[in-house]
Chain A
Amino acid sequence: MKTDSKTIIGVFGSEDSLMDALCRLMAENLEPTEIYTPYPIHEAMRVLKRRSKISWAAWFYGFFGGIAVLSFLYYTAVIDWPLIYGGKPFNAFPSFITVTLVLIILIVTIFTLLTFSVRSKIYPFKKALILDERVTDDKFIIVFDADKFDRDQLFTSLREASAEEIIEK
């Protein structure tokens, strides 16, 4: 992410050269602010200790969504306006399961997408903070906050890590 302070960017031409560089830089305690890649690289996420709790959030939405749906069905079918359909009890639980399942799926989808949008700050009309336009095509970049590291050491390390280009912004 671009900040007010200067950033130093190492550009790499392939996944393998990015991974080699990333491991080498991490070993030198040069932890980047962020990396940008044209496709997800799981190994890099492991090295950078990136974690996502989105599946836990989804479980949470599903669990409480399910309780909400069943409560709604119970309230409307048993308390508010009970009607007998085909001799079934008012609380015809087995035939509530299907619609509960479908609504849980709907709730999980909507809230998971919203969570993704909020956490990743991905939403309509957002202006992208592009550091290098080539990252969505064929380049892999490692971004450092220039204020946190010694500039010369960073340049030397990036060069040693076979960066194709080093850019200061």
Chain B
Amino acid sequence: MSYATEIRGPLVLGNKKLSQVSDDIVAPIGKPPGIWWYIAMFVASLMLVYGAYALYITLTVGIGSWNVNNQVAWGWDIINFVWWIGIGHAGTAFSIFLLLLRQTWRTSINRAAEAMTVAAVICAALFPLIHMGRPWLFYFIAPYPNTRGPLWVNYNSPLFWDFMAISAYLLISASFWYLGMIPDFATIRDKTASKVKKMVYGVLSFGWTGSSREWIRYEGTGFVLGGIAAVLVVSVHSIVSTDFASSVVPGWHTTLFPPYFVVGAIFSGFAMVMTLMILIRKMYKFQDYVTNSHLDAIARILVFVSLIMGTAYLTEIFVAWYSGNQYELFLIFENRITGKYAYEFWAMFICNALIPQLFWSKKIRRNLTVALIISLFINLGMWYERFNIIVTSLSRSYLPSMWADYSPSHIEVGLFLGTIGLFSTAILLFFRYVPMIAIHEVKSVLKHYEREHGMGEPKSDTP
């Protein structure tokens, strides 16, 4: 059963034949990419090189090469970690929530969102790893029989939960992404004339044939993974929020955090999906697959989630006032809304709660340049949100003697730029070698609109 509404037009335009869908989506793979691809790859590589240098310094010199201090012990590293893991929620939100809700419009977008998820989670995982100081001993956090007792890990600690949750999330999102690509790899294997490609995609397609027995187990596996990953996506960011909420730091010690973090993650993830889909659509001329209606649907979700974000910000302010707690009052009214870091607070508020309200206008939703700019503002705003949470709370603790300021060193900036480079490189390689749109899923919804609306079969699809 699928759910269709009158407001959502055809999912694929251009009255496509099945083979046209394969041809269109497979076409960019293996073809020399445009000059823009090389320029983007060059810029991404530069950032990656800077990131590699920053990583080298971090590993050889240590955390002392960062500007974090005794008070602001979490700086850009944890800000970037939370930001990336938030972006990494997009794939799950798209692929899984919309899969479970039988939203067929997901089919043109889910593959790119899943790829983005895997790349973003890898970027996210880097930060807590290097934040440990001695990353080569990271396996100490895993509960395994060891020669230190065995001394087992602290199962009550959110940091341990975080390690388990992110490891599980990375594995599941990567598996889900790959599972989705198996039939599409088989399509490339069977369509290509190149022997090398036939061999490579033959290996990648795991011997897929498209039999009904394969399909039924494939769909069953997809639903099981989707169902449990939906629970995981909520728990991952709830756990990230408990890293903060289980402390006694003003501004962190709040029950609002788990839902606030989960919604924020989905918000930034959807914004990044919008950024990416507008670019893919433009660069690869995928207007027939990523239609205005698809982008309109993402914009509608963004405007709704933005309202939740605004409500969360106002709730934080209200609760600080209503609690009467002097530390909360000081934090919110003298250190966030006003004070040294007021710029970051207002940047967050404007980018996340106000600017996306422009999406109420249909004209703006349909203007892709403006939509792209708004989606970038949301990404920026979500970064500021994490800065706002981490730095303002830590920099002005209970006693004035504990106060300290923070600004990042060039190594911390380098690490952040490095992850942007890593993410961009991964996405650019994905554009080049992997089908960007789920071919078999698009084929399965090709006639969906016509069926639901009793418009008969598209002429080009009948034999």
- The residue in chain B whose Cβ has the minimal distance to the Cβ of A164 is B463
Q: Is the CB of B215 within 8 A of A40?
A: yes
A13, A73, A109: which contacts B462 (Cβ < 8 A)?
A13
Residues of A within 8 A of B17 (CB): 138
Residues facing A in B140-173 (CB within 8 A) are 143, 149-152, 154-158, 160-161, 164-165, 167-168, 171-172
Interface size, chain A (Cβ < 8 Å): 74
Contacts A14-B463, A17-B463 hold; do A80 and B440 have CB atoms under 8 A apart?
Answer: no
B19, B187, B206, B223: which contacts A126 (Cβ < 8 A)?
B206
Interface size, chain B (Cβ < 8 Å): 68
Residues facing B in A9-51 (CB within 8 A) are 12-17, 34-41, 44-45, 48, 50-51
What is the 8 Å Cβ interface bit string for chain A, positions 91-133, against chain B (1 contact, 0 not)?
0100110110111111011101101110111111111111101
**B248–chain A nearest beta-carbon distance, Å:** 12
Tell me, yes or no, whether B101 is within 8 Å of chain A by CB. Answer: no
A109, A117, A125: which contacts B172 (Cβ < 8 A)?
A109
What is the CA–CA distance of A83 and B175 in the complex, to the nearest angstrom? 36
Residues of A within 8 A of B239 (CB): 98, 102
Residues of B within 8 A of A16 (CB): 457, 462
Tell me, yes or no, whether A167 is within 8 Å of chain B by CB. Answer: no
Q: Is the CB of B462 within 8 A of A136?
A: no
**A148–chain B nearest beta-carbon distance, Å:** 18
What is the CA–CA distance of A92 and B160 in the complex, to the nearest angstrom? 15
3 A-B pairs closest in CB distance: A13-B463, A126-B207, A138-B18
Q: Is the CB of B186 within 8 A of A112?
A: no
Tally inter-chain residue pairs, CB-CB below 8 A: 204
Residues of A within 8 A of B441 (CB): 39
**B445–chain A nearest beta-carbon distance, Å:** 9
Q: Is the CB of A50 within 8 A of B213?
A: yes
B150, B168, B207, B221: which contacts A123 (Cβ < 8 A)?
B207
**A7–chain B nearest beta-carbon distance, Å:** 13
Residues of B within 8 A of A72 (CB): 143
What is the CA–CA distance of A101 and B443 in the complex, to the nearest angstrom? 36
Tell me, yes or no, whether A77 is within 8 Å of chain B by CB. Answer: yes
Q: Is the CB of A95 within 8 A of B463?
A: no
Residues of A within 8 A of B150 (CB): 76, 80-81
Residues of B within 8 A of A40 (CB): 215-216, 218-219, 440, 444
User: DSSP majority for the B interface?
Assistant: helix
What is the CA–CA distance of A159 and B203 in the complex, to the nearest angstrom? 36
A-B contact pairs, 15 of them (CB 8 A): A14-B462, A17-B463, A34-B213, A36-B211, A38-B183, A39-B443, A55-B223, A77-B152, A86-B156, A92-B155, A112-B224, A120-B214, A122-B207, A137-B187, A138-B18
- The residue in chain B whose Cβ has the minimal distance to the Cβ of A128 is B207
Q: Is the CB of A38 within 8 A of B187?
A: yes
Q: Is the CB of A137 within 8 A of B207?
A: no
A34, A35, A81: which contacts B151 (Cβ < 8 A)?
A81
Residues of A within 8 A of B155 (CB): 73, 77, 92, 95-96, 99
What is the CA–CA distance of A122 and B182 in the complex, to the nearest angstrom? 9
Q: Is the CB of B206 within 8 A of A109?
A: no
- The residue in chain B whose Cβ has the minimal distance to the Cβ of A54 is B220
Q: Is the CB of A39 within 8 A of B444?
A: yes
Q: Is the CB of A105 within 8 A of B215?
A: no
Contacts A34-B212, A128-B209 hold; do A109 and B175 have CB atoms under 8 A apart?
Answer: yes
* Interface-side segment among B229-237, B300-308, B311-319: B229-237
- The residue in chain B whose Cβ has the minimal distance to the Cβ of A124 is B206
Residues of A within 8 A of B149 (CB): 81
Q: Is the CB of A50 within 8 A of B463?
A: no
Residues facing B in A121-169 (CB within 8 A) are 121-131, 133-138, 164
What is the CA–CA distance of A39 and B318 in the complex, to the nearest angstrom? 52
Tell me, yes or no, whether A5 is within 8 Å of chain B by CB. Answer: no
What is the CA–CA distance of A102 and B19 in the complex, to the nearest angstrom? 41
What is the 8 Å Cβ interface bit string for chain B, positions 239-261, against chain A (1 contact, 0 not)?
10000000000000000000000
- The residue in chain A whose Cβ has the minimal distance to the Cβ of B184 is A136
Q: Is the CB of A92 within 8 A of B156?
A: yes
Tell me, yes or no, whether B22 is within 8 Å of chain A by CB. Answer: yes
Tell me, yes or no, whether A52 is within 8 Å of chain B by CB. Answer: yes
Residues of B within 8 A of A96 (CB): 155
Q: Is the CB of A108 within 8 A of B228?
A: yes
What is the 8 Å Cβ interface bit string for chain B, positions 384-416, against chain A (1 contact, 0 not)?
000000000000000000000000000000000
Contacts A12-B463, A102-B161, A127-B202 hold; do A135 and B210 have CB atoms under 8 A apart?
Answer: yes
- The residue in chain B whose Cβ has the minimal distance to the Cβ of A110 is B171
